[in-house]
Amino acid sequence: MTLLQVAAFTSDFPDDMVEDEHDIIQFGGKGVSEAIGAILSGLGYSVGELDYQGERGWEFSAGAEGQQIWLLLSDLGDYLMLQVEDPSFMGLRPKYRQFREHFLSGLTDALNRDGRFHDLLWFAAVGDPFGFPDPAGEGGRRPAPQAWRWS
């Protein structure tokens, strides 16, 4: 089974990166993270607090029925990247996998329905066994063999 790990998409949200004349004071993505958190709350998940992680972006959790999934959102200027962070070893448990599958499918449906998000693509972690794919990498954001569009 291929696990989808990274979503790349664009949004109508204003750029909320905070910078002074020289440096980035706070990386963007807070508004989009809050919006995704609200969508997940609407789907019945309990959403944790946003945690700012500097250049990594914004991390938050969502859970239900004793299962929890962590999401990391990074604003990369041209697009946004949402990474699924599986807890160690949890990904091996069939119950967790079922939860994850249900979660991602629900989230994808909700994002596709929401008019504020566009061009959503999911990528699987292939090619780099110890890292996640870079949606801005080779081939740009064109749908690659490892990309899926859930509808």
Given 2, 12, 19, 65, the residue binding another protein (CB under 8 A): 19
DSSP state of 79: -
Question: Is residue 66 within the footprint of another protein (CB under 8 A)?
Answer: no
> Which one-letter DSSP state was computed for residue 22?
S
Q: Which stretch binds another protein (CB under 8 A): 37-45, 80-88, 90-98, 110-118?
A: 80-88
Report how far residue 12's alpha carbon sits from residue 10's, in angstroms, rounded to the nearest whole number. 7
DSSP 111: H
Instruction: Judge whether 144 and 30 are in contact, CB under 8 Å.
Output: no
CA-wise closest residue to 14 among 80, 72, 113:
80
Identify the residue among 4, 13, 59, 120 touching another protein (CB under 8 A).
59
Other CB atoms within 10 A of residue 117 CB = 21
Of 31, 35, 50, 70, the one binding another protein by CB under 8 A? 70
Decide if residue 119 touches another protein (CB under 8 A). no
The residues binding another protein (CB under 8 A) are 15, 17, 19, 22-24, 27-28, 51, 53-56, 59, 61, 70, 72, 74-78, 81, 83, 85, 128-132, 134, 136-137
